Structure 1
């Protein structure tokens, strides 16, 4: 294995972390808007959304943590390969891939929960009277 093998993951992990950060920022903005809009009392629909948002924030944190760990392990792998410790470099690269897989599976689950949030909104729309 050469230095370029783990180097191939750098752009992919960087883009993933950027996407995860964007998801986090969108959720944070949505939470702030909900807080401002709801005032003193909270509707049952919003209560369901709050539970969903809380779950999603925790998942995004988990996604980011595993993404950063994957990035660090990939960097350590490149360093080990650079100083000619090939076996350590290979093991670190494998661990980096495992962390990246964890991050991606968590991302899939977060997307699933995101769809649940949209379903809550659709159910609310269906309850409204037709004109």
Structure 2
């Protein structure tokens, strides 16, 4: 198969959309970090906040790497198109492969980041489940006492 000028150009829209998604994730995490920082200053001994901060630090690093490999992929696409335009087909093929590998790495890092973000949400849910379980058990005991008094 011969690589044509339109082939790397097709990746432009996909890479651009991925970069937009990665930037939105970055902005969401930045907002979370600022909110957690305020909570941490109020209650520095709360363990869940410290765990969330560590989690967000890892996610921030992953998102930075996702963006780095995404930009590298985009750059390689541009270089590939330039090489194709100049007639260097063999070099363009290798640069296109580098672009695809970079995009693949970026997507792989994205999967890892999604797994970590799910863990963060599970931390929040476990914290709320503890409160829910306390309320549930106190309501259960209330109704049991009421039912016993009616008998």
Tell me whether the two structures share a fold, i.e. TM-score over 0.5.
Answer: yes
SS in 1 for 2:109: helix
2:82 aligned residue: 79
The 5-angstrom pairing of residues 57-76 of structure 1 reads 57-76=60-79
Q: CA deviation at 1:127?
A: 1.2
Q: Deviations over 1:82-103 (max 9, x none)?
A: 1110011111001000000000
- Among 50, 70, 86, the residue aligned to 1:47: 50
2:102 aligned residue: 99
- Among 3, 11, 14, the residue aligned to 1:12: 14
Q: TM-score, normalised by structure 1?
A: 0.96
Q: Please, which runs of 5 or more residues in structure 2 have no aligned partner?
A: 140-151
Q: Please, which runs of 5 or more residues in structure 1 have no aligned partner?
A: none
Over alpha carbons, which structure has the higher Rg?
Answer: 2
Query: Would you say how many aligned residue pairs link Structure 1 and Structure 2?
Result: 131
In structure 1, C-alpha distance between the alignment counterparts of 2:54 and 2:119, rounded to whole Å? 11
Q: Deviations over 1:48-105 (max 9, x none)?
A: 1011000000000000000000000011000000111001111100100000000000
CA RMSD, 1 decimal: 1.0
In structure 2, C-alpha distance between the alignment counterparts of 1:97 and 1:108, rounded to whole Å? 17
SS in 2 for 1:39: helix
| Larger helix proportion of the pair | 2
Work out which structure has the larger RCO, using CA pairs closer than 8 Å and 6 or more positions apart in sequence: 1
2:147 aligned residue: none
Would you identify which runs of 4 or more consecutive aligned residues in structure 1 move more than 4 Å?
Answer: none
